[in-house]
Amino acid sequence: MNKKKIALIGGGQIGGVLTQLIAQRQLGDVVLFDIVEDLPQGKTLDIGEASRIDGFDTKVSGTNDYKDIADSDLILITAGIPRKPGMSRDDLLTTNSKIMKSVAEGVKANAPDAIVIIISNPLDAMVTLFKKVSGFPHYRVLGQAGVLDSSRFSSFIAWELGVSVKDINTMVLGGHGDTMVPIVRYANINGLPVMELLERKYGDAVKAKEVMDAMLQRTKKAGGEVVGLLKTGSAFYSPASAAITMAEAIIYDEKRLLPVCAFLQGEFGVDGYYVGVPVILGGTGVEKVIEFELNEDEQSAFNNSINAVKTLVGDMERLGF
């Protein structure tokens, strides 16, 4: 296989962890771009100097010049400010829209054939804006949210039931905000329904529902919980891991079925918006949106989430983006 070139736009907390993970897994050569002079050069030098210890020959370099991302196969974007305590993701809209517009222009001019994964918040709006400014086909522009939100939900279930998280499958759909939609009905441990195991643990359906509701709330607020503890920024290890899962699915053409922020054209009754749905992720990007029947409650929660995404995108458009 030809070695891939992966550009990371944004050399902050997530960009740094991404660089290290990509190098350690030898997914491809990394170019780390940031507007702050010397920051990406310093981070990549530091990571590169561990190559003997970690055993990688992957090239890692830092730059402040968009020309260096030319011919990238894959681009992961984390440029933008993160939340501080008390802020919602949507509070980042004005600042991060300006940043995303400039990033989309830089990527369009220098790496027009790349597949692009966006991580910057507010996620659904930033993916929408990147697609609009770049004019890239929708299947080559996608956002990371559902892989992380689902991992958070799975972790809470594993901790609650005392089982390995490796056997837990969950899916969180919708927009990447407080209206996200964890699909409880299909949450399972190697096929066994989580709700039934909770009911057996507590011997009481009402208590089991209370415990599940608490895990759902924690999942929806999980990003804010980390922000509240860190105080100076938001989660960065787990978002980087989630984005790596998506990058591997693309680089190795894995055809994984993952929840991804993808462009909908009538699927789930939504047309013309980016939102979290199950997709097949492979070598060409989003290869197919996978639809399934939502029950009444799930559909109403999903609609509520879509409305939140529409409001956010509308706000962004009113700001002139």
Closest approach, Cβ 53 to ligand A3D, in A, equals: 24
Q: Which of 77, 74, 173, 83 is nearest to 126 (CA)?
A: 77
80-104 b/e (C-beta count within 10 Å ≥ 16 → b): bbbbeeeeebbebbeebbebbbebb
Q: Is 145 in the site for ligand A3D (CB under 6 A)?
A: yes
Closest approach, Cβ 320 to ligand A3D, in A, equals: 17
Question: Which of the residues 72 through 91 are near ligand A3D (CB under 6 A)?
Answer: 78-83
Tokens of 297: 């409650």
Closer to ligand A3D at the Cβ: 58 or 78?
78
Is residue 121 within 8 Å of residue 12, measured between CB atoms? Answer: no
Closest approach, Cβ 229 to ligand A3D, in A, equals: 14
Q: Is 15 in the site for ligand A3D (CB under 6 A)?
A: yes
Is residue 7 within 8 Å of residue 114, measured between CB atoms? Answer: yes
Q: Is 36 in the site for ligand A3D (CB under 6 A)?
A: yes
Q: What angle do CA 180, 288, 15 make, to 5 degrees?
A: 60
Is residue 289 within 8 Å of residue 188, measured between CB atoms? Answer: no
Q: Is 234 in the site for ligand A3D (CB under 6 A)?
A: yes
Q: Which stretch binds ligand A3D (CB under 6 A): 232-240, 277-285, 286-294, 297-305?
A: 232-240
Is residue 190 within 8 Å of residue 203, measured between CB atoms? Answer: no
Q: Is 263 in the site for ligand A3D (CB under 6 A)?
A: no
Position with the least CB separation from ligand A3D: 12
Closest approach, Cβ 14 to ligand A3D, in A, equals: 4
Closest approach, Cβ 246 to ligand A3D, in A, equals: 11
Closer to ligand A3D at the Cβ: 80 or 259?
80
Closer to ligand A3D at the Cβ: 148 or 168?
148
Closer to ligand A3D at the Cβ: 20 or 121?
121
Element (H, E) at 215: helix 205-220
Closer to ligand A3D at the Cβ: 177 or 211?
177
The three-state secondary structure class of 217 is helix
Question: Which of the residues 107 through 126 are near ligand A3D (CB under 6 A)?
Answer: 119-121, 123
Using the Cα atoms of residue 113, residue 115, residue 120 and residue 125 in order, give the sign of their dihedral.
positive
The three-state secondary structure class of 139 is helix
Known catalytic residues are: 176
Closest approach, Cβ 100 to ligand A3D, in A, equals: 8
Order of strands across the sheet that contains 256-265: 60-63, 29-33, 5-9, 74-77, 115-118, 141-143, 256-265, 271-282, 285-289
The span from the CA of 1 to the CA of 96, in Å, is: 36
Q: Is 176 in the site for ligand A3D (CB under 6 A)?
A: yes
Please count the other Cβ atoms lying within 10 Å of the Cβ belonging to residue 110: 19
Is residue 106 within 8 Å of residue 146, measured between CB atoms? Answer: no
Q: Is 148 in the site for ligand A3D (CB under 6 A)?
A: yes
Q: Is 58 in the site for ligand A3D (CB under 6 A)?
A: no
Closer to ligand A3D at the Cβ: 208 or 262?
262
Q: Is 34 in the site for ligand A3D (CB under 6 A)?
A: yes
Which residues form the interface with ligand A3D (CB under 6 A)? 9-15, 34-36, 78-83, 92, 96, 99, 102-103, 119-121, 123, 144-145, 148, 176, 233-236, 239
